Amino acid sequence: MLIGHLPAGYFLTRALIKKNKIPLTPLWLGLGLVASVLPDFDIAYSILFKDSIGSHRYYFTNFPAFYLTFLLMAVLIYFLVRKKWLKFGIIIVFANIFLHLFLDTMFVGIKWLWPFWDGLIGVYNVGLTNGFIVENYFHHWYWYLEIVLWVIAVSSVVCSYKKGELRN
């Protein structure tokens, strides 16, 4: 997925906020949006430092084991301090990170079994060429799905703003 992580993260964060009866604030919404694109921060690293590993799916920021380690530490810290805000933060952050990884699994693949197996596991592989997505991706049904997701998300934000839900 190229551009759909942010709107998908928006919808997931809004659903989690509603389900857990968390107040809708810019902090919680922003936390969810940042977490929804967190596994792709490695792209900025590779651009800034001209690191040419190929597909960014081979960076540790795209390994579920990396995030499971931090999730385990966060849950242990939560059980020590038992703060409700920490529980909500853990839920929002890690749900969005794993949503990102799940969506990338649909598109190209993720190293779900790393460190036991080094291969990418994907449901529908549109293919990579020299670390880049095939040129015809912009004519692929998955691209149009991402565009639709953005249109629905922007419409939802506008409606929520008009209702006064996002004016904090």
What is the C-alpha to C-alpha distance for residues 101 and 160, in angstroms, rounded to an integer?
27
Whether the Cβ atoms of residue 111 and residue 62 lie closer than 8 Å to each other:
yes
DSSP 166: T
pLDDT for the residue numbered 103: 92
Mean pLDDT, rounded, for 13-24: 94
Could you tell me whether strands 128-129 and 132-133 are parallel, antiparallel, or unpaired per DSSP bridges? antiparallel
Name residue 158's amino acid.
V
Give domain limits for the chain. Answer: 5-163
**3-class secondary structure, 63:** coil
Over 80: is that where the pLDDT of 152 sits? yes
Element of type H or E holding 103 = helix 84-107
Whether the Cβ atoms of residue 96 and residue 37 lie closer than 8 Å to each other:
no
CA 165 from chain centre, in angstroms, equals 23
In b/e form, how buried is each residue of 116-142, taking b as 16+ CB within 10 angstroms? eeeebebeeebeeeeeebeeeeeebee
Tell me the per-residue pLDDT of 77-104, one tens digit each, with 9 for 90 and over.
Answer: 999 999 999 999 999 999 999 999 999 9
Tell me the per-residue pLDDT of 20-59, one tens digit each, with 9 for 90 and over.
Answer: 999 889 999 999 999 999 999 888 777 777 766 666 777 8
DSSP 142: H
Name residue 136's amino acid.
N
